[in-house]
Amino acid sequence: MEFNVLQHFKGLAELGRDLGTDPFDGDQVGTSLFMTGGMGPQISKKMDESAKKAGLSRRNFIRSSLGFSAAMLAANEVTGMKFFEVNSAQAEDFDAKKEAIQVARAGSGDFIVDVHTHVCTRPGHYQLGVNTTERGMWFVQLLDDLGKAFGLPNGTRDMNVENYGKLILQESDTTVGVFNPFGFREDYGGQDMIPMEYQVGVREKWPKSTLMLAGGLTPNQGLSVTLDRLAMYVEKYKISGLKLYTFDSTKKKGWWFDDEKLAYPIWEACRKHGIKNVGCHKGIPFGQFYARYAHAEDFDAAADDFLDLNFIAYHSAWPYHAELAALKGFKPQRKNLYCEVGSTFAATVTSRPLECAHVLGTLLRDLGPDYVLWGTDSLLWGNPQWQIEAFRNFQIPDQLVEGHGYPKITPEIRRKVFGENAARIWNIDKKAAMTAKAEILANKTSYA
């Protein structure tokens, strides 16, 4: 299956232009997503009714914080299920909305670690035939279109170091950002798509609020080359872990985490270098890459054979998340298998909340609340604040709890997913991170 995430938000850019949506305003972005998803026409009609009750024009209502609450409330009404814990007062009265935000933050906590963030440009950007192949440009175009849909006029050019600080650290409640690389150097002039030399600029600007992962490693480029590059990343860039892709742009197309000849030497090297957290893109088999490498079955043996390493399935392997969850559900003794929800949550919560509930329910039930990590895949999805607010309000309906044995999403679970789980495996000092966040907010004009 090839999945183009943009198909679910057709018309988002047009709606944003019509309404004058501010891409830095999480509420406005979130409201627009509800109005352009599969339930869009029905939600849009209900927004007119809510605007009248609030005494605002449609345009001003949608652009206000009330609009996001009204959109979530409308999703409940359209589906006949309570996916969002919002009430009519939050969609009609600014004081009630402000109070609801304070209550939600108090319950879920203000400590948020986004383990899946990106910058998506490079010096010289991407030039077809110069530093980028046609295959490589397909991926750039996909990311360009997504960024533009979220109000970034120049797409990936605007997914730069400066806007990383602006959108993720300043304009959202994110406390710590873990930024991830893209590799595929065969398609990008022999360099990683996002070279480490550029990516490290994020950490240099915000050393107390970011962690850097390394990637662009595939044994299909040569195992000795891969091991040398890993050693260089550790020694020169002081990386905090790996984010890899088992599909690649080599002639072999991909590899597996449980390959004892190609992969196990990498995990042994991780032990040697003190690298404990190893993530991998799983699920979302985009573009020209083969879906079989997006399945998580190769985590099974690797997790058993390297019990001292943590293996993290990015995107939660969606739409193969049930296969991932089974690797823990049937092996409850397993303590080193994690998932994160970047793009998976974003792509389902506003347009297909029933699917979102099944995905989260499966992960929380089978992997367990201690093994689910928060991630947004921003800057690909613009300002992550809309995702934060959506998760603060999202709930698994009683019908699904009773029918599938899913847990309700309690304040404790939200705190674990939002930040406590990531802080545990990356040894993040919560107090120091919160102090650094306060410093960013106090000097926020520096990131404009």
What length is written for the chain?
A: 448
**Contact indicator for 322, 360 with CB cutoff of 8 Å:** no
Helix axes 26-36, 12-19, angle to 10 degrees: 130
Distance CA 82, CA 299 (A): 35
Contacts of 286 (CB under 8 A, 6+ apart): 2, 3, 4, 5, 139, 142
* pLDDT reported for residue 241: 98
Strand order, beta sheet including 242-245: 242-245, 277-281, 310-314, 337-340, 372-373
How distant, in Å, are the alpha carbons of 215, 224, 242, 317 from that of 212? Answer: 10, 23, 9, 22
Q: What is the 3-state secondary structure (H, E, C) of 337-360?
A: EEEECCCHHHHHHCCCHHHHHHHH
Specify which residues 394 forms β-bridges with: 84
**Contact indicator for 24, 171 with CB cutoff of 8 Å:** yes
Which residue, 68, 57, 3, is CA-closest to 34? 68
Which residue, 118, 249, 133, is CA-closest to 194? 118
The dihedrals phi and psi of 27, each to the nearest 5 degrees, come to -60, -45
Which amino acid is residue 423, in one-letter code? A
Distance CA 1, CA 18 (A): 34
* pLDDT reported for residue 20: 67
**What residue ranges define each of the domains in the chain, with the CATH number in brackets?**
5-108 (no CATH), 113-442 (3.20.20.140)
Distance CA 265, CA 448 (A): 44
Q: pLDDT tens digits for the chain (448 residues)?
A: 334 555 555 566 666 666 666 767 888 889 988 998 788 899 999 999 999 999 999 999 999 999 999 999 999 999 999 999 999 999 999 999 999 989 988 888 899 999 999 999 999 999 999 999 999 999 999 899 888 888 788 999 999 999 999 999 999 999 999 999 899 999 999 999 999 999 999 999 999 999 999 999 999 999 999 999 999 999 999 999 999 999 999 999 999 999 999 999 999 999 999 999 999 999 998 777 889 999 999 999 999 999 999 999 999 999 999 999 999 999 999 999 999 999 999 999 999 999 999 999 999 999 999 999 999 999 999 899 999 999 999 999 999 999 999 999 999 999 999 999 999 999 999 999 999 999 999 987 544 3
Contacts of 94 (CB under 8 A, 6+ apart): 64, 65, 66
**Contact indicator for 336, 311 with CB cutoff of 8 Å:** yes
**Contact indicator for 355, 331 with CB cutoff of 8 Å:** no
The dihedrals phi and psi of 287, each to the nearest 5 degrees, come to 60, -135
* pLDDT reported for residue 3: 43
Q: How many C-beta neighbours within 10 Å does residue 337 have? A: 23
* pLDDT reported for residue 410: 97
Please, where are the H alpha helices in 150-278?
161-163, 196-205, 223-237, 264-273
Which residue, 174, 165, 234, is CA-closest to 206? 165
Which amino acid is residue 153, in one-letter code? P
The dihedrals phi and psi of 218, each to the nearest 5 degrees, come to -145, 125
198 SS3 class: helix
Distance CA 310, CA 320 (A): 20
Contacts of 261 (CB under 8 A, 6+ apart): none
Distance CA 8, CA 214 (A): 31
Distance of CA 110 to the CA centre of its chain: 18
Whose tokens are 């959506």? That residue is 390
Distance CA 262, CA 255 (A): 8
* pLDDT reported for residue 6: 52
Q: What is the 3-state secondary structure (H, E, C) of 7-24?
A: HHHCCHHHHHHHHCCCCC
144 SS3 class: helix
Specify which residues 314 forms β-bridges with: 281
